[in-house]
Protein backbone atom coordinates (compact mmCIF):
# COMPACT_ATOMS: atom_id res chain seq x y z
CA UNK A 1 0.00 0.00 0.00
CA UNK A 2 1.33 3.44 -0.82
CA UNK A 3 3.00 5.06 2.13
CA UNK A 4 6.30 6.63 2.60
CA UNK A 5 8.69 4.51 3.52
CA UNK A 6 7.31 4.59 6.77
CA UNK A 7 8.98 2.38 4.81
CA UNK A 8 11.75 3.04 7.51
CA UNK A 9 10.88 1.21 10.73
CA UNK A 10 12.84 3.32 13.21
CA UNK A 11 12.10 3.17 16.90
CA UNK A 12 11.80 6.30 19.00
CA UNK A 13 12.46 5.28 22.54
CA UNK A 14 12.19 8.04 25.10
CA UNK A 15 13.33 6.97 28.53
CA UNK A 16 15.94 7.13 31.33
CA UNK A 17 17.65 5.05 34.11
CA UNK A 18 21.12 3.46 34.86
CA UNK A 19 23.52 1.81 37.28
CA UNK A 20 26.42 3.55 38.95
CA UNK A 21 29.41 3.61 36.68
CA UNK A 22 32.85 5.04 36.58
CA UNK A 23 33.74 5.61 32.94
CA UNK A 24 35.87 7.99 30.96
CA UNK A 25 33.22 8.06 28.23
CA UNK A 26 29.69 7.56 29.61
CA UNK A 27 28.17 7.84 26.13
CA UNK A 28 30.22 4.89 24.92
CA UNK A 29 29.37 2.87 28.02
CA UNK A 30 25.67 3.46 27.49
CA UNK A 31 25.93 2.47 23.83
CA UNK A 32 27.54 -0.78 24.97
CA UNK A 33 24.64 -1.28 27.39
CA UNK A 34 22.19 -0.89 24.49
CA UNK A 35 24.22 -3.35 22.41
CA UNK A 36 24.01 -5.88 25.21
CA UNK A 37 20.20 -5.83 24.88
CA UNK A 38 20.48 -7.40 21.42
CA UNK A 39 21.74 -10.63 22.95
CA UNK A 40 19.06 -13.38 23.16
CA UNK A 41 17.52 -13.70 26.63
CA UNK A 42 19.20 -10.52 27.84
CA UNK A 43 17.30 -8.74 30.60
CA UNK A 44 16.88 -4.98 30.84
CA UNK A 45 18.87 -3.40 33.65
CA UNK A 46 16.31 -0.78 34.60
CA UNK A 47 18.94 1.23 36.43
CA UNK A 48 20.47 2.37 33.15
CA UNK A 49 17.29 4.18 32.02
CA UNK A 50 15.45 7.10 33.55
CA UNK A 51 12.05 6.49 35.07
CA UNK A 52 10.45 8.76 32.47
CA UNK A 53 11.97 6.64 29.71
CA UNK A 54 10.66 3.39 31.17
CA UNK A 55 7.21 4.88 31.64
CA UNK A 56 7.14 5.72 27.94
CA UNK A 57 8.78 2.47 26.83
CA UNK A 58 8.38 -0.44 29.28
CA UNK A 59 11.32 -2.90 29.40
CA UNK A 60 9.47 -5.66 27.55
CA UNK A 61 8.53 -3.30 24.71
CA UNK A 62 12.07 -1.93 24.59
CA UNK A 63 13.65 -5.36 24.22
CA UNK A 64 11.08 -6.44 21.61
CA UNK A 65 11.77 -3.35 19.50
CA UNK A 66 15.55 -3.81 19.66
CA UNK A 67 15.32 -7.53 18.90
CA UNK A 68 13.03 -6.90 15.92
CA UNK A 69 15.42 -4.35 14.50
CA UNK A 70 18.49 -6.58 14.96
CA UNK A 71 16.89 -9.93 14.10
CA UNK A 72 19.09 -10.46 11.02
CA UNK A 73 22.20 -8.51 11.97
CA UNK A 74 24.09 -11.17 13.89
CA UNK A 75 25.50 -10.76 17.38
CA UNK A 76 26.72 -7.55 19.00
CA UNK A 77 30.46 -6.97 18.56
CA UNK A 78 31.23 -3.43 19.66
CA UNK A 79 29.85 0.09 20.01
CA UNK A 80 31.33 3.33 18.72
CA UNK A 81 30.59 7.01 19.24
CA UNK A 82 30.53 8.45 15.72
CA UNK A 83 29.50 12.09 16.20
CA UNK A 84 29.44 13.83 19.58
CA UNK A 85 26.64 16.40 19.53
CA UNK A 86 27.05 17.57 23.12
CA UNK A 87 28.84 16.17 26.13
CA UNK A 88 25.78 14.07 26.82
CA UNK A 89 24.34 13.25 23.39
CA UNK A 90 25.73 11.58 20.31
CA UNK A 91 25.20 9.59 17.16
CA UNK A 92 26.75 6.17 17.59
CA UNK A 93 26.74 2.69 16.11
CA UNK A 94 26.23 -0.86 17.24
CA UNK A 95 28.53 -3.02 15.11
CA UNK A 96 27.13 -6.50 14.54
CA UNK A 97 28.81 -9.74 13.51
CA UNK A 98 27.24 -9.93 10.02
CA UNK A 99 29.08 -6.76 8.96
CA UNK A 100 26.02 -4.66 9.69
CA UNK A 101 25.87 -1.46 11.71
CA UNK A 102 22.85 -0.17 13.66
CA UNK A 103 22.91 3.67 13.91
CA UNK A 104 21.84 4.99 17.31
CA UNK A 105 20.86 8.46 18.53
CA UNK A 106 21.61 8.58 22.27
CA UNK A 107 21.00 11.11 25.05
CA UNK A 108 22.05 10.59 28.67
CA UNK A 109 21.62 12.54 31.89
CA UNK A 110 24.34 15.04 32.67
CA UNK A 111 24.96 13.71 36.17
CA UNK A 112 26.17 10.25 37.25
CA UNK A 113 25.16 7.54 36.76
CA UNK A 114 24.26 9.07 33.37
CA UNK A 115 21.04 7.19 32.77
CA UNK A 116 19.67 6.98 29.24
CA UNK A 117 16.97 9.58 28.64
CA UNK A 118 16.65 9.35 24.85
CA UNK A 119 17.24 6.49 22.44
CA UNK A 120 16.50 6.25 18.72
CA UNK A 121 17.54 3.18 16.71
CA UNK A 122 17.75 3.55 12.93
CA UNK A 123 17.42 0.76 10.35
CA UNK A 124 20.54 -1.44 10.13
CA UNK A 125 23.14 -0.30 7.60
CA UNK A 126 25.46 -2.64 5.68
CA UNK A 127 29.03 -1.99 6.82
CA UNK A 128 30.38 -1.59 3.28
CA UNK A 129 32.97 0.95 2.17
CA UNK A 130 32.17 1.67 -1.49
CA UNK A 131 29.13 2.53 -3.58
CA UNK A 132 29.92 -0.47 -5.78
CA UNK A 133 29.44 -2.60 -2.67
CA UNK A 134 26.07 -0.94 -2.12
CA UNK A 135 25.08 -2.03 -5.61
CA UNK A 136 26.26 -5.55 -4.80
CA UNK A 137 23.96 -5.54 -1.75
CA UNK A 138 21.03 -4.47 -3.93
CA UNK A 139 21.74 -7.07 -6.60
CA UNK A 140 21.60 -9.78 -3.94
CA UNK A 141 17.99 -8.91 -3.02
CA UNK A 142 15.30 -11.31 -4.30
CA UNK A 143 13.36 -9.89 -7.22
CA UNK A 144 14.54 -6.81 -9.14
CA UNK A 145 16.30 -3.68 -7.92
CA UNK A 146 17.56 -0.40 -9.37
CA UNK A 147 19.76 2.41 -8.10
CA UNK A 148 21.27 5.70 -9.21
CA UNK A 149 23.51 8.30 -7.57
CA UNK A 150 24.20 11.39 -9.65
CA UNK A 151 25.90 14.74 -9.13
CA UNK A 152 23.27 17.11 -10.51
CA UNK A 153 25.54 20.15 -10.42
CA UNK A 154 28.19 18.53 -12.60
CA UNK A 155 25.85 16.22 -14.51
CA UNK A 156 27.95 13.19 -13.58
CA UNK A 157 26.58 9.73 -12.86
CA UNK A 158 28.47 8.37 -9.86
CA UNK A 159 27.08 4.86 -9.88
CA UNK A 160 24.06 3.22 -11.48
CA UNK A 161 22.34 -0.16 -11.49
CA UNK A 162 19.38 -0.76 -13.82
CA UNK A 163 18.95 3.01 -13.67
CA UNK A 164 16.97 3.20 -16.91
CA UNK A 165 14.60 0.33 -16.10
CA UNK A 166 11.04 1.33 -15.10
CA UNK A 167 10.28 0.29 -11.52
CA UNK A 168 7.16 0.49 -9.35
CA UNK A 169 7.29 3.61 -7.22
CA UNK A 170 4.87 3.13 -4.33
CA UNK A 171 4.08 6.58 -2.95
CA UNK A 172 7.09 8.15 -4.65
CA UNK A 173 4.64 8.85 -7.50
CA UNK A 174 3.33 11.71 -5.35
CA UNK A 175 6.29 13.78 -6.51
CA UNK A 176 4.52 14.23 -9.85
CA UNK A 177 1.38 15.51 -8.12
CA UNK A 178 3.52 18.01 -6.22
CA UNK A 179 5.18 18.95 -9.51
CA UNK A 180 1.87 19.82 -11.15
CA UNK A 181 0.94 21.92 -8.12
CA UNK A 182 4.19 23.88 -8.49
CA UNK A 183 3.62 24.33 -12.22
CA UNK A 184 0.07 25.62 -11.72
CA UNK A 185 1.24 28.07 -9.05
CA UNK A 186 4.04 29.40 -11.25
CA UNK A 187 1.55 29.78 -14.09
CA UNK A 188 -0.67 31.91 -11.88
CA UNK A 189 -3.51 29.38 -11.97
CA UNK A 190 -3.34 28.55 -8.27
CA UNK A 191 -1.70 29.71 -5.05
CA UNK A 192 -0.27 27.80 -2.09
CA UNK A 193 -2.88 29.46 0.15
CA UNK A 194 -5.88 28.45 -2.01
CA UNK A 195 -8.52 26.56 -0.03
CA UNK A 196 -10.59 23.55 -1.05
CA UNK A 197 -13.18 21.54 0.89
CA UNK A 198 -12.64 17.83 1.51
CA UNK A 199 -14.92 15.62 -0.61
CA UNK A 200 -16.24 12.15 0.14
CA UNK A 201 -15.44 10.95 -3.39
CA UNK A 202 -11.74 11.60 -2.76
CA UNK A 203 -11.55 9.97 0.65
CA UNK A 204 -8.84 7.29 0.53
CA UNK A 205 -7.28 4.93 3.05
CA UNK A 206 -4.19 5.09 5.30
CA UNK A 207 -1.41 6.08 5.34
CA UNK A 208 -2.16 9.55 6.61
CA UNK A 209 -4.86 11.18 8.68
CA UNK A 210 -6.84 13.44 6.35
CA UNK A 211 -9.26 10.57 5.69
CA UNK A 212 -10.39 11.00 9.33
CA UNK A 213 -11.06 14.74 8.99
CA UNK A 214 -14.68 15.94 8.65
CA UNK A 215 -15.99 16.12 5.11
CA UNK A 216 -16.26 19.70 3.95
CA UNK A 217 -13.29 20.82 6.04
CA UNK A 218 -11.53 23.77 4.37
CA UNK A 219 -7.87 22.94 3.71
CA UNK A 220 -5.17 24.89 1.87
CA UNK A 221 -3.28 23.39 -1.04
CA UNK A 222 -0.08 23.90 0.94
CA UNK A 223 -1.41 21.82 3.85
CA UNK A 224 -2.48 19.04 1.51
CA UNK A 225 0.94 19.05 -0.19
CA UNK A 226 2.74 19.00 3.14
CA UNK A 227 0.66 16.04 4.31
CA UNK A 228 1.09 14.24 0.99
CA UNK A 229 4.88 14.39 1.14
CA UNK A 230 5.80 14.41 4.83
CA UNK A 231 3.49 11.60 6.00
CA UNK A 232 2.46 10.25 2.59
CA UNK A 233 -1.19 11.06 3.20
CA UNK A 234 -3.27 9.29 0.57
CA UNK A 235 -6.45 11.34 0.92
CA UNK A 236 -4.45 14.58 0.68
CA UNK A 237 -2.88 13.16 -2.50
CA UNK A 238 -6.21 12.30 -4.13
CA UNK A 239 -7.70 15.69 -3.27
CA UNK A 240 -4.74 17.36 -4.96
CA UNK A 241 -4.77 15.01 -7.94
CA UNK A 242 -8.40 15.74 -8.80
CA UNK A 243 -8.20 19.43 -7.92
CA UNK A 244 -5.26 19.82 -10.32
CA UNK A 245 -6.70 17.44 -12.90
CA UNK A 246 -5.61 13.90 -13.69
CA UNK A 247 -4.57 14.75 -17.25
CA UNK A 248 -2.50 17.72 -16.09
CA UNK A 249 -0.56 15.43 -13.75
CA UNK A 250 -0.07 13.01 -16.63
CA UNK A 251 1.35 15.82 -18.75
CA UNK A 252 3.73 17.21 -16.11
CA UNK A 253 5.55 13.87 -15.89
CA UNK A 254 7.39 14.46 -19.16
CA UNK A 255 8.17 18.05 -18.23
CA UNK A 256 9.76 16.80 -15.01
CA UNK A 257 11.95 14.29 -16.84
CA UNK A 258 9.89 11.09 -17.02
CA UNK A 259 10.97 9.41 -20.26
CA UNK A 260 7.95 7.05 -20.46
CA UNK A 261 4.99 8.92 -18.97
CA UNK A 262 2.50 6.66 -20.77
CA UNK A 263 3.33 4.01 -18.18
CA UNK A 264 1.18 6.06 -15.81
CA UNK A 265 -1.75 6.78 -18.12
CA UNK A 266 -4.32 6.95 -16.78
CA UNK A 267 -2.67 8.33 -13.66
CA UNK A 268 -4.20 6.37 -10.78
CA UNK A 269 -5.38 7.88 -7.52
CA UNK A 270 -4.51 5.97 -4.36
CA UNK A 271 -8.18 5.13 -3.80
CA UNK A 272 -8.39 3.68 -7.30
CA UNK A 273 -5.31 1.54 -6.76
CA UNK A 274 -6.80 0.17 -3.55
CA UNK A 275 -10.13 -0.50 -5.27
CA UNK A 276 -8.43 -2.36 -8.10
CA UNK A 277 -6.24 -4.53 -5.90
CA UNK A 278 -8.35 -5.09 -2.81
CA UNK A 279 -11.83 -5.80 -4.15
CA UNK A 280 -13.05 -8.89 -5.95
CA UNK A 281 -9.96 -10.83 -4.85
CA UNK A 282 -7.70 -8.71 -7.05
CA UNK A 283 -9.58 -9.69 -10.22
CA UNK A 284 -10.27 -6.04 -11.05
CA UNK A 285 -6.54 -5.33 -11.04
CA UNK A 286 -5.89 -8.25 -13.36
CA UNK A 287 -8.58 -7.03 -15.78
CA UNK A 288 -7.24 -3.50 -15.60
CA UNK A 289 -3.74 -4.69 -16.44
CA UNK A 290 -5.00 -6.42 -19.60
CA UNK A 291 -6.72 -3.27 -20.91
CA UNK A 292 -5.58 -0.47 -23.21
CA UNK A 293 -5.38 3.06 -21.72
CA UNK A 294 -8.74 4.17 -23.13
CA UNK A 295 -10.46 1.11 -21.67
CA UNK A 296 -8.78 1.72 -18.35
CA UNK A 297 -10.17 5.26 -18.20
CA UNK A 298 -13.68 3.93 -18.75
CA UNK A 299 -13.18 1.40 -15.96
CA UNK A 300 -12.01 4.08 -13.55
CA UNK A 301 -14.81 6.49 -14.41
CA UNK A 302 -17.67 4.02 -14.55
CA UNK A 303 -16.96 0.77 -12.70
CA UNK A 304 -14.86 2.04 -9.80
CA UNK A 305 -17.07 5.03 -9.04
CA UNK A 306 -19.93 2.60 -8.28
CA UNK A 307 -17.95 0.94 -5.46
CA UNK A 308 -18.51 1.85 -1.82
CA UNK A 309 -15.75 2.93 0.55
CA UNK A 310 -16.16 -0.20 2.67
CA UNK A 311 -15.87 -2.54 -0.32
CA UNK A 312 -12.07 -2.48 0.03
CA UNK A 313 -10.60 -5.35 2.05
CA UNK A 314 -6.84 -5.27 2.48
CA UNK A 315 -4.71 -8.41 2.31
CA UNK A 316 -1.05 -8.96 3.24
CA UNK A 317 0.02 -10.85 0.14
CA UNK A 318 1.56 -9.30 -2.98
CA UNK A 319 -1.01 -8.18 -5.58
CA UNK A 320 0.44 -7.37 -9.02
CA UNK A 321 3.23 -5.30 -7.51
CA UNK A 322 5.12 -5.26 -10.81
CA UNK A 323 2.20 -4.54 -13.12
CA UNK A 324 -0.54 -2.39 -11.51
CA UNK A 325 1.31 0.47 -9.85
CA UNK A 326 2.95 3.79 -10.75
CA UNK A 327 6.20 3.41 -12.71
CA UNK A 328 9.39 5.32 -13.54
CA UNK A 329 13.07 4.56 -13.83
CA UNK A 330 15.51 5.72 -11.17
CA UNK A 331 17.01 8.04 -13.78
CA UNK A 332 13.53 9.52 -14.29
CA UNK A 333 13.20 10.06 -10.55
CA UNK A 334 16.60 11.77 -10.34
CA UNK A 335 15.47 14.08 -13.14
CA UNK A 336 12.27 14.73 -11.22
CA UNK A 337 14.22 15.83 -8.15
CA UNK A 338 16.47 17.99 -10.30
CA UNK A 339 13.34 19.69 -11.64
CA UNK A 340 12.33 20.61 -8.08
CA UNK A 341 15.85 21.93 -7.45
CA UNK A 342 15.58 24.26 -10.41
CA UNK A 343 12.01 25.33 -9.63
CA UNK A 344 13.01 26.15 -6.06
CA UNK A 345 15.08 29.13 -7.15
CA UNK A 346 12.13 31.55 -6.71
CA UNK A 347 9.49 32.25 -4.08
CA UNK A 348 6.78 30.33 -5.93
CA UNK A 349 8.83 27.13 -6.11
CA UNK A 350 10.75 27.23 -2.84
CA UNK A 351 7.86 25.96 -0.68
CA UNK A 352 8.10 22.65 -2.54
CA UNK A 353 11.73 22.26 -1.47
CA UNK A 354 10.73 23.07 2.11
CA UNK A 355 7.98 20.45 1.95
CA UNK A 356 10.36 17.81 0.56
CA UNK A 357 12.76 18.48 3.46
CA UNK A 358 10.12 17.93 6.17
CA UNK A 359 10.82 14.19 6.39
CA UNK A 360 14.36 13.20 5.23
CA UNK A 361 13.54 9.49 5.31
CA UNK A 362 16.80 8.27 6.87
CA UNK A 363 19.41 9.63 9.25
CA UNK A 364 21.15 12.53 7.50
CA UNK A 365 24.31 14.26 8.74
CA UNK A 366 23.28 17.93 8.48
CA UNK A 367 26.90 19.07 8.60
CA UNK A 368 27.57 17.16 5.37
CA UNK A 369 24.13 17.57 3.80
CA UNK A 370 22.62 20.93 4.87
CA UNK A 371 19.61 20.19 2.64
CA UNK A 372 17.90 16.81 2.30
CA UNK A 373 14.63 16.35 0.42
CA UNK A 374 12.92 12.98 0.27
CA UNK A 375 9.92 10.98 -0.87
CA UNK A 376 9.58 7.27 -0.48
CA UNK A 377 6.87 4.71 -0.76
CA UNK A 378 5.98 1.08 -0.45
CA UNK A 379 3.33 -1.54 -0.77
CA UNK A 380 3.63 -5.26 -0.19
CA UNK A 381 6.39 -6.34 -2.57
CA UNK A 382 7.57 -2.79 -3.40
CA UNK A 383 9.80 -0.14 -1.85
CA UNK A 384 11.22 3.02 -3.44
CA UNK A 385 13.24 5.89 -1.96
CA UNK A 386 14.20 9.12 -3.75
CA UNK A 387 16.47 11.85 -2.33
CA UNK A 388 17.52 15.36 -3.32
CA UNK A 389 20.65 16.43 -1.43
CA UNK A 390 22.83 19.52 -1.26
CA UNK A 391 26.36 18.88 -0.09
CA UNK A 392 28.23 21.31 2.14
CA UNK A 393 30.44 22.00 -0.89
CA UNK A 394 27.39 23.41 -2.67
CA UNK A 395 26.97 20.55 -5.16
CA UNK A 396 23.51 19.01 -5.54
CA UNK A 397 22.95 15.24 -5.73
CA UNK A 398 20.07 12.89 -6.45
CA UNK A 399 19.96 9.36 -5.04
CA UNK A 400 17.16 7.02 -6.04
CA UNK A 401 16.57 3.33 -5.46
CA UNK A 402 13.78 0.78 -5.80
CA UNK A 403 13.17 -2.90 -5.12
CA UNK A 404 10.27 -5.08 -6.25
CA UNK A 405 9.57 -8.72 -5.50
CA UNK A 406 6.43 -10.00 -7.27
CA UNK A 407 6.41 -13.12 -5.08
CA UNK A 408 6.89 -11.90 -1.51
CA UNK A 409 7.04 -8.90 0.77
CA UNK A 410 10.25 -6.87 0.69
CA UNK A 411 12.25 -5.94 3.78
CA UNK A 412 11.82 -2.18 3.89
CA UNK A 413 14.14 -1.84 6.91
CA UNK A 414 17.01 -3.56 5.10
CA UNK A 415 16.43 -1.42 2.02
CA UNK A 416 16.37 1.81 4.03
CA UNK A 417 19.67 0.83 5.62
CA UNK A 418 21.27 0.24 2.22
CA UNK A 419 20.06 3.63 0.99
CA UNK A 420 21.36 5.38 4.08
CA UNK A 421 24.76 3.79 3.63
CA UNK A 422 24.83 4.96 0.01
CA UNK A 423 24.28 8.55 1.13
CA UNK A 424 26.97 8.22 3.79
CA UNK A 425 29.46 7.03 1.18
CA UNK A 426 28.70 9.99 -1.09
CA UNK A 427 30.27 12.40 1.36
Instruction: Tell me the per-residue pLDDT of 372-423, one tens digit each, with 9 for 90 and over.
Output: 999 999 999 999 999 999 999 999 999 999 999 999 999 998 999 999 999 9
Domain boundary (72, 92, 126) is at 126
The DSSP secondary structure of 89-115, one letter per residue, reads: EEEEEEEETTTEEEEEEEEE-SSTT--
Question: Is residue 211 over pLDDT 70?
Answer: yes
**Would 183 be classed as within a structural domain?**
yes
262 and 375 together in one domain: yes
CB neighbourhood size of 346 (10 A):
9
Express as a percent the part of the chain with pLDDT over 90: 85
Model confidence at 334, in pLDDT bands (50, 70, 90)?
very high
**Would 274 be classed as within a structural domain?**
no
Residues 291, 304: Cα–Cα separation, whole Å: 15
The pLDDT of residue 308 is 96
Dihedral (Cα; 415, 417, 419, 425), 10-degree rounding? -150
369 and 411 together in one domain: yes
Question: Is residue 155 over pLDDT 70?
Answer: yes
Question: Is residue 324 over pLDDT 80?
Answer: yes
Question: Is residue 10 over pLDDT 90?
Answer: no
Mean pLDDT across the chain, nearest whole number?
92
220 and 111 together in one domain: no
To the nearest 10 degrees (0 to 180), the angle between helices 131-139 and 412-426 is 160
234 and 138 together in one domain: yes
**Would 37 be classed as within a structural domain?**
yes
Model confidence at 300, in pLDDT bands (50, 70, 90)?
very high
Is there a contact between 210 and 227 (Cβ–Cβ < 8 Å)?
yes
Residues 421, 232: Cα–Cα separation, whole Å: 23
Number of domains present in the structure of the chain: 2
Residues 276, 313: Cα–Cα separation, whole Å: 11
Domain containing residue 105: CATH number = 3.10.450
Question: Is residue 282 over pLDDT 50?
Answer: yes
Domain boundary (92, 126, 160) is at 126
**Would 299 be classed as within a structural domain?**
no
The pLDDT of residue 20 is 36
240 and 148 together in one domain: yes
User: For 266-275, what is each residue's pLDDT tens digit?
Assistant: 999 999 999 9
Residues 84, 416: Cα–Cα separation, whole Å: 24
Model confidence at 3, in pLDDT bands (50, 70, 90)?
very low
**Would 278 be classed as within a structural domain?**
no
Residues 99, 74: Cα–Cα separation, whole Å: 8
Give the structural domain span for 22: 5-126
121 and 181 together in one domain: no
Residues 387, 309: Cα–Cα separation, whole Å: 34
> Nearest-CA neighbor of 301 among 266, 326, 274?
266
116 and 222 together in one domain: no
User: For 57-83, what is each residue's pLDDT tens digit?
Assistant: 999 899 888 888 888 898 899 999 998
By CB atoms closer than 10 A (0-12, 13-18, 19+), residue 340 is buried
**Would 146 be classed as within a structural domain?**
yes
> Nearest-CA neighbor of 412 among 9, 3, 2?
9
Mark out the alpha helices in 207-269 (DSSP H runs).
221-230, 234-244, 246-255
369 and 383 together in one domain: yes
Residues 311, 326: Cα–Cα separation, whole Å: 22
Residues 56, 14: Cα–Cα separation, whole Å: 6
**Would 292 be classed as within a structural domain?**
no
**Would 280 be classed as within a structural domain?**
no
User: For 338-372, what is each residue's pLDDT tens digit?
Assistant: 999 999 999 999 999 999 999 999 989 899 999 99
109 and 211 together in one domain: no
**Residues 169-181, mean pLDDT to the nearest whole number:** 98
Domain containing residue 367: CATH number = 3.40.710.10
90 and 211 together in one domain: no
22 and 86 together in one domain: yes
246 and 179 together in one domain: yes
Domain boundary (126, 151, 168) is at 126
Amino acid sequence: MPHTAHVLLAFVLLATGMSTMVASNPLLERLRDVGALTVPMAAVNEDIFTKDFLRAVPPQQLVAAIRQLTASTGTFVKATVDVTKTEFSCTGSLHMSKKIRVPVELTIESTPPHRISGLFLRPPVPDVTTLDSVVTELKALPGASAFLAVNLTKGDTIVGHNAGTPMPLGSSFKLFVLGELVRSIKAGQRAWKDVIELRSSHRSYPSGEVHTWPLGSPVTLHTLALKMISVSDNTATDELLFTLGRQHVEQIQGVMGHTQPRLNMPFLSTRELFQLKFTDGGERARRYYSMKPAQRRVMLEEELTSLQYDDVTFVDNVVLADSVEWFASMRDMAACMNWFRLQGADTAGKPALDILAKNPGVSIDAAVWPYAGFKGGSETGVVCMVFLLRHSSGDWYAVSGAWVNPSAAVDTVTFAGVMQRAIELLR
